[in-house]
Structure 1
């Protein structure tokens, strides 16, 4: 189904959420912001000059796993590279890469003296705490985006996996939850967002493995040898979390402690037992793969690196996550995109 945004909006305007700013209009920001805009919300985008030019020329095309499309003409999109555009936002969704969180916090502080609500929708564990430190007096909450968004072409953003978007339970997130639901994105709220983020991080440990493989997610996860590497990283992370007295929440179809066992099943049995984990289309790839292909620094230091730092703090070794981090850094330094490591070659680093 193709839905086109009209001049008068796709739906009746709602007053629950006023002016929403997307801070870091990349793949996640453009998709969520575009869905909110198409549903009749006032949305402004703040991002990079190259994407600004593309969006203001071609608009946005949002495609989804189920076949739905949303088309938003360029003239309906407000996109700026000037942070002054944030000055009258009522709600700011931070969707920058984790390495840019400190810059985002300082920028919001310098341009938003009216204390808008700030919600982090980023990968990683530490972003909300960083924003709270930099934004005293602001209402800062966190959230978790479960699905994969891949930038297919200049302004085509594709959701290739499914999942329920989770927001921290708070009065500040209620208007956003209602707006997201009207935009067709299923949501839940959770009181302990930290446990949700750790649960998501367990699944995100595959991001780097997918990037190193160079394969689409479905093809990579269908191979037991790649899954064995992922299971090793997850098992190691669960050990760290257990010693640190952190209990990761279930964010997917599988209880976290069962993930290593399920991942190491033979291929036919894994496909039968964990079919929901493979419910994605052939376009789905990890954001770290996209980072390598575009020459950007991948977020491995904020995913696997978070495990390493916690392990160092509590005295638990993390050789598997250190190996993955080292391989990703080398791939980025090489500047040639994914190294396309076979499953067997990747496993050799763990023997």
Structure 2
């Protein structure tokens, strides 16, 4: 199977590296990163061991991949604000039986991809592990909470089972699901509560569960998000209070040492994905006439911090 990772950052590199043990893998990423991989290979370290992957093709643009396309499996691991552009770039690399899988944070990526490549070729994926870019060509797996999940958005689970099985065999625990949108909302709740607040306070995730004040802010963001999700008819399995208890007792402990992606982005002067996480709740809240003051405040603080750190704005 020929696999393309579009947007080879930390998470995409982990998928690409492990898959390269048994698949024909191509990475597309930034010039400095791809140059390092071409020279030294891709190093993945951390809790899943020390690995050096050299059996990879690495390019800086989709145009360079045309001669070896079409790809059977395309993992979209770009930032959410780049999804539409990246999908247009990979369109010439897609064949009749290709699958494009969004393994991204935030809400709405699958819908964006489906509008371009078709629902029948679109899947959603959830990475339930964390990784950090240590230097060009080297990523570190820092935390692992649960199996990755994969599912179609057009019904049926057969293709999801195939993708999950391939990725699981590569060494990344993975399972299929028959409702990936609902499952991705569960990860969005996790990101809503932890990602921006840890960036604002410059702390690891575990710190946020220790104080009444931070718990109160997290609960406020989640209450708004759950109200919006209900208006969107997501079909949630439990209440906000049930989820908050689950977050504190089950999800935080294994990811306590994680450094949020928003904090990493801010420190590097990069744009964050807050518009596609907390910002998505604010937008959908307005559509349903639901007030979201806590999330709106958090979004404004993250955007202000971004400007202070010199991040580019949309």
Aligned equivalents of 2:58, 2:213: Cα separation in 1: 44
Deviation at 1:94, TM superposition (A): 0.6
TM-score (structure 1 length as normaliser): 0.79
Change (3 A) 1:222 1:155: farther
Aligned equivalents of 2:104, 2:250: Cα separation in 1: 26
Question: For 1:219-230, what aligned pairs fall within 5 Å after superposition?
Answer: 219-230=207-218
8 Å contact kept, 1:288–1:299: yes
Q: Who is 2:173 aligned against?
A: 186
Aligned mate of 2:252, from 250, 257, 277:
277
8 Å contact kept, 1:204–1:303: yes
Q: Establish whether residue 211 from structure 1 lines up as the match of residue 199 from structure 2.
A: yes
8 Å contact kept, 2:207–2:256: no
Alpha-carbon RMSD: 2.3
Aligned mate of 1:80, from 52, 59, 71:
59
Greater CA radius of gyration, 1 or 2?
1
1:116 is paired with a residue whose SS is strand
Q: Establish whether residue 259 from structure 1 lines up as the match of residue 243 from structure 2.
A: yes
Q: Establish whether residue 156 from structure 1 lines up as the match of residue 138 from structure 2.
A: yes
Q: Establish whether residue 130 from structure 1 lines up as the match of residue 123 from structure 2.
A: no
Deviation at 1:243, TM superposition (A): 3.4
Aligned mate of 2:188, from 195, 201, 207:
201
8 Å contact kept, 2:24–2:56: no
Question: More strand by proportion, 1 or 2?
Answer: 2
Compare 131-140 and 229-238 and name the one that shifted more.
131-140
Q: Who is 2:41 aligned against?
A: 59
Q: Who is 1:3 aligned against?
A: none
Deviation at 1:324, TM superposition (A): 0.5
CA distances 1:285-324 after superposition (whole Å, capped 9, x unpaired): 1111111111110000000011111111111000011001
8 Å contact kept, 1:118–1:139: yes
Deviation at 1:199, TM superposition (A): 1.0
Deviation at 1:335, TM superposition (A): 1.2
CA distances 1:231-274 after superposition (whole Å, capped 9, x unpaired): 11011111222333333357xxxx754234577xxxxxx6xxx1
1:172 is paired with a residue whose SS is helix
Q: Establish whether residue 322 from structure 1 lines up as the match of residue 306 from structure 2.
A: no
Aligned equivalents of 2:138, 2:269: Cα separation in 1: 19
Aligned equivalents of 1:35, 1:97: Cα separation in 2: 21
Change (3 A) 1:106 1:115: farther
Q: Who is 1:94 aligned against?
A: 76
Change (3 A) 1:137 1:187: closer
Structure 2 residue runs without a partner (length 5+): none
Aligned equivalents of 2:170, 2:95: Cα separation in 1: 29
2:143 is paired with a residue whose SS is coil
Aligned equivalents of 2:127, 2:18: Cα separation in 1: 14
Aligned equivalents of 1:98, 1:126: Cα separation in 2: 9
Aligned equivalents of 2:222, 2:245: Cα separation in 1: 10
Change (3 A) 1:56 1:248: farther
Change (3 A) 1:93 1:261: closer
Aligned equivalents of 1:257, 1:217: Cα separation in 2: 19
8 Å contact kept, 1:304–1:325: yes
Question: For 1:139-178, what aligned pairs fall within 5 Å after superposition?
Answer: 139-162=121-144, 163-168=146-151, 170-178=157-165
Q: Who is 1:25 aligned against?
A: 8
